[in-house]
Structure 1
Amino acid sequence: MSREIDEGLERAERTRPIPVHLNTRVKFLWEKVAKQDTKRLAQLAGVSQRTAQRWSHALKELAEGRLTGDIPMTKANAGKVEQAVRTAWQPRVLTSARQGEAGVSRVRPVPAMKPSRVSGRY
């Protein structure tokens, strides 16, 4: 029950949902977070460096069109990839949301509406 609540709060903090497809998740980790380093990708996802090398090779094959479908992966590794993406997805949004929780609000007040001068109506 508390896990569902935590996931709901995480979804509310984000402005965009995490990628749905496994290939897109691995590509996000590979390009944005690990900066195309297999050792860093392996540490982030909690897998061996050889597995990260397989994923990077599969991403290259996908880009070249030689591989169709999802990257071959076990369910356990897919869960690890999802968790790594959740922790790295939209870091600036998460920090600003957490600062708002601490009492520092980043919400600006809405200015007062002025009547329209074109039509003469409000």
Structure 2
Amino acid sequence: MGIVGDGLERAVQQAFTRPIPKSAGAQMRYLVKQLKGTRAVADALGVSQRTVERYVKDQIRRPRPDLAQRLQDAVRTRWQPRIREQARRQAATSTGLVIDTRARFGFTAAPGTTDDARLRHLTLALPPAYAARLFDAQQAGATDDQLRDITAEALGEIYFRDGGRRAQALMVEFTDVEQLDFEL
């Protein structure tokens, strides 16, 4: 995933009601239960089936750093799917998203204007319609560029065009993203 997709995932993970399992053995047992077998877990993590079995039996307790990260990421992506879906649905129907970004914004405007691209730090509430578009595009497997275009359109409409009250023909370009965070 890219910066926008990762930001959306972090926002949804803030809705978790319980922390993910801490130990490598507990994480492996959770994955074995979710993927219904040690072979599927071994294939997903890039290790042998016997290694997975050793973690499940707590014969190995401390994974290598790269395996520990892959294991934690695999658990986090599957953790509390109902809570995750509920948070997405609530943001898409009623609450929307809050975006906090520091990026370069440029505009397609009439020649000779002062709309050169410059860094801005914006914190805005996006309405539920844009949250729904972002989550739907993410679920459909959109690229980060497509998610960035939807985000640029939302920021352009809410901040720069002020809901249609000014600069109606302004097209916003969202580039050089230094920081991007979403909150539900």
The aligned residue for residue 39 of structure 1 is 39
Contact persistence 1:26–1:81 (CA under 8 A): yes
Report what 1:16 is aligned to.
Answer: 18
TM-fit CA distance, 1:23: 1.6
Identity of aligned residues (%): 26
User: What do residues 63-84 of structure 1 show as CA deviations (whole Å, max 9, x unaligned)?
Assistant: xxxx4xx535211011000000
Show CA shifts across 1:76-109 (max 9, x none). 011000000000000010011101111167xxxx
Shift of 1:7: 7.2
Instruction: Specify which structure has the higher proportion of helix.
Output: 1
1:19 match: secondary structure: coil
Is 1:75 paired with 2:56? no
Q: Following superposition of structure 1 onto structure 2, how do residues 1-122 of structure 1 map, counting pairs within 5 Å?
A: 9-30=11-32, 32-35=33-36, 37-45=37-45, 47-48=46-47, 50=48, 52-60=49-57, 62=58, 67=59, 70-103=60-93
TM-score (norm 2): 0.42
Distance 1:99 1:7 in 2: 14
> Tell me, which stretches of 5 or more residues in structure 2 are unaligned?
96-184
Cα distance in 2, alignment partners of residues 44 and 76 from structure 1: 14
What's the RMSD between the two structures over aligned residues? Answer: 2.7
